[in-house]
Amino acid sequence: MKNSILYIFITLMIFLSGCYRYPEIDWDYELYNRLIGPDGGTITFYANYTDDTNMFFADTTKIMLTLDVPQGALDSMMIFNFYQYQSYENAEEMSKGLSKIGSKFIYFVPIYASDGYHEHDEADLTYHLSVEFNQPITVTYFYTMDYSLDNLDEKKLQFEFYNWFNRHYKLYRIKIPRIDEWGENRNIFVQWNQQGYPIGYNDLDLNDIILGKWYPFTEDYQGVSSLVNWEPVKNFTIDEVNKSVSFDIENTDYMYVLAHIIQISNNIIPFRISEYIANNFTSNLLRAALIDGTFQIILEDGTVVYFDKSSDFLYAEKYNVPYSQIPQEIIIYLNSNYPSSFYQGNIKTIYSDISIYRINLSDSKCLFFYEYGGTVNYFGSMVYDYDFNSLPQGIIDYINSNFPNAIINTVTNFDALENPEINIYLTYQSKNIKLFFYNQTTPNSTVYYGLKLEDISDAVLNYLNSEFNNIDIVKITQTICTDSSYYYINLIDDTDIEIDTSGNLLSLYRYISIQEIPAEIINGIDEKFESCNLVTAYYIYRENSEIYAMEFAEGLYVEMDINKTVIYAGGSNIQDLPETIRSYIRANYDITTFNNFDYYYNYEHSQYLYFVYLDNLLLIFDENGNLITKTKDFEVKTHSKAWEKSNKKHQL
Amino acid sequence: MISAYVKHKIFQNMIKKLSFIGLIIAFTFLYANAQFLHYGVKVFTSPYLEMEFYQYDNNEYVFYFANEQNETIRFDGLDTSLIRSFKPYPAVYVRYDFNERWFLQTEAYYFWFRNEASYENSVDFSEYTNTFNSQNNQEILNYNSMQLKWRFSGLRFFGGYVFMKTKSLRPYIFTGFSFMFLMSLKPGDTYFEREYRNFIIFNHLATFARVTLHNTSGIGIQYQGIRLSTYTLRSALPIDIYAADYQNGIKLTIDDPHPNYKYMFGQFISLSVNLYSKHTTKPLKF
């Protein structure tokens, strides 16, 4: 019996000693908790919804956003929901003369813990909860996190917008109206998912607020996009190494975005551009923008017209071309080849002598037609997000051997009538690269985006060091072609440099102050033109020529080389014309019909000519003021004029 | 203020002392009256086992995960459908018969089962499965449930009365108590990409007391050395290490650990057979 008791006792002890060991409760939840109270603390949002295993290793590279809440900032326990909004359509619309989006829009929807966190049905109208903090809360947003690239729109946003982020981009905030702040019954509501939990504010409302279609004291849906609800955040810090932006928020009444405002005042549009628009387009000018050295003019009918820094016409894009304006040849082609497709959002791109129609078959496929000399022909089809594995084996082998384990972001395949053009966008060793293939299995060009100073060749670095005191670089892009390799470098002062890898300057555009213009150039202007109120000037180096371009308040634009030769002049001030021409006009026409003039080298006549535009009449004079010809058909002439000038530049 | 963990330790020590005293009393009784000593084995199964989960207000016991979906989890119960089976579990026992009418029995048993902790998830199911379905297996995505794998051992002490002792088939009734020892608690199959989140959820579910005390009673019928019985087990004391705080009316804040398991109830069926029997007319000596 003693043994029996002993056995039972031992058994009991074995049971007890073999019992379960508890895990350490709560040691990790604080890392992943978004509930915070008056004691303050830090909330860390992780971009790891798809895979959170890295959190075991305290992997800070997956942090998407942190909220540093000081003690006393909140009066009670609060749950912070953090949302990001993005829309390709929105970004595309903003890029038409307003701003280039550099990140997602972020905002917070707070919930008081005491209110409970329970399901809502779809009809539940919960307003934006405006919470004023007792002290500012510091937000750090890692703007390159959470790019899942799940769909084509996200890829387009990534490659057309987010990847172009540079030092021109600043932080802006956009108002989220408090209850009835913008008028009774004009409120933004929380949107619920099928589980009855909040998923942010209504996307359509956000879109309208961002685009300025919905703003205080006006009727809804003005139909015209604007930056009326945007305001710059005064104090913010961008950490370029960690790719984060830090700023303070005092309430929950704003969403935030990194963006580059490209809109410029209509008052500073170069005269030649205004003139070109007036002469060639029926719609009025709505707004204008300047981005990457290109003037972008948005017309009231939605057409976007592009000009280079010298105010030369590049091309125009008409969006959402109505069915009625699509040439009959295209309609016939579509009816016979794609009878069941629905065509929306078609684009017409107008060049000097040719127009391209882009017909969208779907989100990922479109057709191109060109219109030239009155005839329309099929040009090819473009497929976005093309299957990489369907590419020619030679291209796949090239990528695998030269960029092993690269992340293939997207592929576009332009199936032209002759040979396909393929663009492959990939990420290799943290660099974004675009490879262009045309009719061969090695790239015709390879473009490296977002390079850093240490990535450029010594020869180029030496050039920069010798020419610029303070190299403040915004953007470096390297293009490697079959027979050349060059860098495009953009500096913080908007200087654009094109230089080959050996350090030979190809082109340079740089804004300069009036004091930097050589005296002989000023004298040359004084000798030839009456206008004297210089507004802006920049130095141009291109095709081995040094040129000074100047814009005057009187409406005169002049490009002059260092030999005081006028390359181009144009203006709206009749006083800038030679006295002989002015006299001729006064003697023969009503002076009030004068509009503007151009002056440049004409290859047809092998001399410099003045082109003087009166109402419905074009007069052409030689340098000595002798009338050469006059014509009423000047609209055609202005097109050919731009083409002529473009040719001239190339020949220089 | 004594923390919940310290209270739990005190409770455990109390259980240990009680069990030791119980053993002394039982064997003192045997010393005075024992006639037959049986050693045997037993198989038992549990067609019904229930764990009652504490219910809280909507905002009292919620996990707010700081990810890009603002994922929010709120426990709402335990699904015991997984354990409604006739899986056999082993036990061994020692039994004393007195005049073939009264008996005392102690047995050691071991059993295991799976159930599922269920919770509400704020993320839409479609959104969730679009994100987490790399193995095309929606069973283990842990969208709104997590399997729990339990292993228990136990010591059961009970006494009973046998009817119709002159017949071959003898019905009997019994009652007593049982100590259950939690030997293992693990999450079942979990989705690998959600390990961190699942780890947090599981940690908060691991609050079942290591030693728990249960009432047991049942009926059976015996034929010679073979017995068929059915009995119940119902927790007699709190089974959650944080239950004391909650039951004492202490208002828990959101951050406080919350008890999960309110009580446990099981229905069992067993078949036992004596392997060795000994006639002990002489008093046993210690």
Give the residue-averaged pLDDT of A604-609: 88
Q: What is the pLDDT of residue A97?
A: 92
DSSP assignment of A488-555: EEEETT--EEEEETTS-EEEEEEEE-GGGS-HHHHHHHHHH-S---EEEEEEEEETTEEEEEEEETTS
Backbone φ and ψ for A25, nearest 5 degrees, come out as -65, 140
Domains A267-383 and A387-449 share a fold: yes
Q: What is the pLDDT of residue B29?
A: 53
DSSP A284: P
**What confidence tier does B38 reach under pLDDT thresholds 50, 70, 90?**
very high
* Residues of B with Cβ-Cβ distance to A4 under 8 angstroms: 27, 94
Q: From the list A28, A50, A193, which residue is nearest B131 (CB)?
A: A50
* Residues of B with Cβ-Cβ distance to A113 under 8 angstroms: 59, 254
Report CB contact under 8 Å: A118, B58. yes
**What confidence tier does A481 reach under pLDDT thresholds 50, 70, 90?**
very high
Report CB contact under 8 Å: B106, A20. no
Residue A471's nearest CA partner among A505, A497, A506 is A497
Please give the Cα distance from B192 to A490 (Å, whole number): 45
Report CB contact under 8 Å: B23, A32. no
Distance between B215 CA and the closest CA of chain A, angstroms: 18
- Is a pLDDT exceeding 50 seen at residue A164? yes
Give the residue-averaged pLDDT of A183-206: 86
Q: What is the pLDDT of residue A429?
A: 85
Please give the Cα distance from B239 to B264 (Å, whole number): 8
Give the residue-averaged pLDDT of A74-85: 93
Q: What percentage of chain A exceeds 90 in pLDDT?
A: 37
- Is a pLDDT exceeding 70 seen at residue B198? yes
Q: Which fold has domain A509-651?
A: Inhibitor of vertebrate lysozyme, Ivy (3.40.1420)
Condensed to tens digits (0 to 9), the pLDDT of residues B222-231 reads: 998 899 999 9
**What confidence tier does B2 reach under pLDDT thresholds 50, 70, 90?**
very low
**What confidence tier does B10 reach under pLDDT thresholds 50, 70, 90?**
low
Q: What percentage of chain B exceeds 90 in pLDDT?
A: 41
Half-sphere exposure for A292 (CA within 13 Å, toward CB)? 13
Report CB contact under 8 Å: B181, A83. no
Q: From the list A25, A32, A50, which residue is nearest B66 (CB)?
A: A32
- Is a pLDDT exceeding 70 seen at residue B42? yes
Q: What is the pLDDT of residue A644?
A: 40
Please give the Cα distance from A293 to A651 (Å, whole number): 22
* Residues of B with Cβ-Cβ distance to A114 under 8 angstroms: 59
* Range with the poorest average pLDDT among A15-19, A174-178, A477-481: A15-19
Distance between B131 CA and the closest CA of chain A, angstroms: 6
* Range with the poorest average pLDDT among A22-26, A224-228, A232-236, A465-469: A22-26
Q: Which residues 18-77 on chain A approach chain B with CB closer than 8 angstroms?
A: 18-20, 22-29, 32-35, 43-53, 55-56, 64, 77
Q: Which residue has the higher pLDDT, A315 or A218?
A: A315
Report CB contact under 8 Å: B123, A46. no
With beta carbons less than 8 A apart as the criterion, state whether A195 and A189 touch: no
Best mutation target, A49, A60, A148, to test chain B (most B CBs within 10 A)? A49
* Residues of A with Cβ-Cβ distance to B106 under 8 angstroms: 8
CB of B49 less than 8 A from some CB of A:
no
Give the residue-averaged pLDDT of A473-479: 88
Q: Which residues of A246-267 are buried (b: 16+ CB within 10 A; e: fewer)?
A: bbebeebbbbbbbbbbbbbeee
Report CB contact under 8 Å: A35, B257. no
Q: Which fold has domain B4-278?
A: Porin (2.40.160)
* Range with the poorest average pLDDT among A8-12, A138-142, A200-204, A452-456: A8-12
Q: Which residue has the higher pLDDT, A240 or B149?
A: B149
Q: What is the pLDDT of residue A423?
A: 93
Distance between A35 CA and the closest CA of chain B, angstroms: 7
**What confidence tier does A230 reach under pLDDT thresholds 50, 70, 90?**
very high
Q: What is the pLDDT of residue B275?
A: 93
Looking at every residue in chain B, the average pLDDT score rounds to 83
Q: Is A544 left (phi over 0), alpha (psi -120 to 50) or beta?
A: left
Q: From the list A19, A49, A113, which residue is nearest B68 (CB)?
A: A49
Question: Which residue ranges make up each domain of chain A?
Answer: 31-261, 267-383, 387-449, 509-651
- Is a pLDDT exceeding 70 seen at residue B285? no
Q: Helices A2-17 and B4-33 sit at what angle, rounded to 10 degrees?
A: 160
Report CB contact under 8 Å: B23, A5. yes
Distance between B180 CA and the closest CA of chain A, angstroms: 9
Report CB contact under 8 Å: B197, A34. no
Distance between A9 CA and the closest CA of chain B, angstroms: 8
- Is a pLDDT exceeding 80 seen at residue A646? no
* Residues of B with Cβ-Cβ distance to A35 under 8 angstroms: 64, 254
Best mutation target, A19, A112, A145, A151, to test chain B (most B CBs within 10 A)? A19
Q: What percentage of chain A exceeds 70 in pLDDT?
A: 90
Give the residue-averaged pLDDT of B237-244: 89
* Residues of A with Cβ-Cβ distance to B72 under 8 angstroms: 117, 197
Condensed to tens digits (0 to 9), the pLDDT of residues B50-62 reads: 888 888 877 788 8
Give the residue-averaged pLDDT of B110-115: 90
Q: For chains A and B, what is the number of CB pairs under 8 angstroms?
A: 166
Please give the Cα distance from B236 to A53 (Å, whole number): 40
CATH number corresponding to A387-449 = 3.10.450
Q: What is the pLDDT of residue A639?
A: 35
A67 C-beta neighbours (distance < 10 Å), count: 22
Q: Which residue has the higher pLDDT, B178 or B244?
A: B178
Give the residue-averaged pLDDT of A255-273: 89
- Is a pLDDT exceeding 50 seen at residue B253? yes
ipTM passes above 0.85: no
* Range with the poorest average pLDDT among A517-526, A556-565, B25-34, B116-125: B25-34
Report CB contact under 8 Å: B181, A16. yes
Q: Which residues 104-123 on chain B approach chain A with CB closer than 8 angstroms?
A: 106, 108, 120-123
CA dihedral (A519, A523, A525, A529) in degrees, to 10, reads 150
- Is a pLDDT exceeding 70 seen at residue B134? no
* Residue type at A620 in one-letter notation: I
Please give the Cα distance from B135 to B194 (Å, whole number): 13
CB of A372 less than 8 A from some CB of B:
no
Of all residues in chain B, the one with the smallest CA distance to A110 is: B70
Condensed to tens digits (0 to 9), the pLDDT of residues A617-645 reads: 889 999 888 998 888 755 434 433 433 44
CB of B25 less than 8 A from some CB of A:
no
Q: From the list B66, B68, B94, which residue is nearest A44 (CB)?
A: B66
Q: Which residues 26-45 on chain B approach chain A with CB closer than 8 angstroms?
A: 27, 30-31
- For A387, residues 6+ apart whose C-beta sits below 8 A from its C-beta are A411
* Range with the poorest average pLDDT among A215-219, A334-338, A339-343: A215-219
With beta carbons less than 8 A apart as the criterion, state whether B119 and B74 touch: yes
Q: Which fold has domain A267-383?
A: Nuclear Transport Factor 2; Chain: A, (3.10.450)
Condensed to tens digits (0 to 9), the pLDDT of residues B66-107 reads: 988 899 998 888 877 666 667 899 999 999 888 778 999 999
Looking at every residue in chain A, the average pLDDT score rounds to 85
Best mutation target, A25, A66, A139, to test chain B (most B CBs within 10 A)? A25
What's the predicted TM-score (pTM) here?
Answer: 0.76
- Is a pLDDT exceeding 50 seen at residue A132? yes
Q: What is the pLDDT of residue A147?
A: 59
Ranked by mean pLDDT, which of A93-102, A502-511, A583-592, B131-140 comes out on top? Answer: A93-102
Report CB contact under 8 Å: B132, A50. yes
Q: Which residues 289-328 on chain A approach chain B with CB closer than 8 angstroms?
A: none
Q: Which residues 155-214 on chain B approach chain A with CB closer than 8 angstroms?
A: 155, 179, 181-185, 192-197, 199-200, 202-204, 206-208, 210-211
Report CB contact under 8 Å: B68, A116. no
Q: From the list A15, A18, A117, which residue is nearest B72 (CB)?
A: A117
Question: Which residue ranges make up each domain of chain B?
Answer: 4-278
Please give the Cα distance from A437 to A187 (Å, whole number): 51
With beta carbons less than 8 A apart as the criterion, state whether A534 and A548 touch: no
Backbone φ and ψ for A89, nearest 5 degrees, come out as -60, -40
